[in-house]
Amino acid sequence: MKTDHAKIHLNIGGYEIIPLPTGLFGLDGGAMFGTVPKALWEKTNPADEHNRIPMEARALLLKSKDKKVLIDCGNGADFIAKYGDKLGSKFAELYSVDGSGPTLKSSLAAHGLTANDITDVVLTHLHFDHAGGATSAIGDVIKPTFPNAKYYVQSENLKTAQTPNVREKASYLSPNWVPLLEAGVLQLVNGATKNLLPHISVWVSDGHTTAHQVVIVEDDTQKLIYCGDVIPTASHIRAAWVMGYDLHPLKVIEEKTALLKSTQEKNTYLFFEHDPYCDVATVETDKSDFKVKERFWLA
């Protein structure tokens, strides 16, 4: 896979746009691409001997004079302390979590920041690979990782996490959000919200899971869309390339198409949480579908 993309520096709505890699992990390639045949997806996303493809868990830091906003938190690093010996060790093995690379904390430190500096954390949804880093084990106690931050999640997503269906049960792990509720730092958001924070809006999608929020940072000339699991990698820009994990694949296609249409209005970049081969991309139309125009690394 080609990775020598151009570097681009983005500043939108007064925020510096900073990717924070939190560590690679692996998911089944077939599950990541649903009905797309392996002969097609393995060209862009080669698999290991267990058919797993590498996935990034890329958080986003929006840094302004007044605010340090974090979007999603990756898997977290302390599975055994948080989920217990049995589930914790199985977890690291099953998802081939690579502990040798950057973590959320080391990525923040690379920008001169600590967990204390974060003012706000917007969670797209509470699946473990997005909310795992939201809490940390300190001895026997699990606490919010960012002690001075308000956390934001859709109220309907919290409800579904608290009473998950059989299919999603293994992804909604309570140590990732119960400590946020106990500490009184979780702000519940009801539906699409303009300017949740200055220049930061959320848009709700129900195809991947109930009430997943896509985060949009915007000013007069530019826009960045943090796609979360609606478009997890650049390969998923194609309409029919949806995950087997999605609860409602046809709904994802509909929502993704609306989101991709909106990229043609102004200078727009899609930010990919799970793509190990680029940070962001621009998009162009391709007959009735969309395709990548250019991939970039953020500088």
- Scanning residues 229 to 258, which ones bind Zn ion (CB under 5 A)? 229
From 99-107, 122-130, 145-153, 286-294, give the range in contact with Zn ion by CB under 5 A: 122-130
Minimum Å gap between C-beta 208 and Zn ion is 6
Of 13 and 132, which has the nearer Cβ to Zn ion?
132
Neighbours of 169 (CB within 10 A): 11
Minimum Å gap between C-beta 126 and Zn ion is 9
CA 213 to chain CA centroid, nearest Å = 10
- Scanning residues 59 to 118, which ones bind Zn ion (CB under 5 A)? none
Of 82 and 208, which has the nearer Cβ to Zn ion?
208
Would you list the DSSP string of 255-284?
A: HHHHHHHHTTTTEEEEE-SS-TT-SEEEEE
Of 229 and 279, which has the nearer Cβ to Zn ion?
229
- Scanning residues 2 to 41, which ones bind Zn ion (CB under 5 A)? none
Minimum Å gap between C-beta 39 and Zn ion is 26
Of 199 and 256, which has the nearer Cβ to Zn ion?
256
From 33-41, 92-100, 213-221, 228-236, give the range in contact with Zn ion by CB under 5 A: 228-236
Minimum Å gap between C-beta 280 and Zn ion is 20
Longest dimension (CA), the chain: 56
Residue 218 binding Zn ion, by CB under 5 A: no
Minimum Å gap between C-beta 124 and Zn ion is 8
Among 82, 127, 236, 256, binds Zn ion (CB under 5 A): 127
Q: For binding to Zn ion (CB under 5 A), which residues are involved?
A: 127, 229
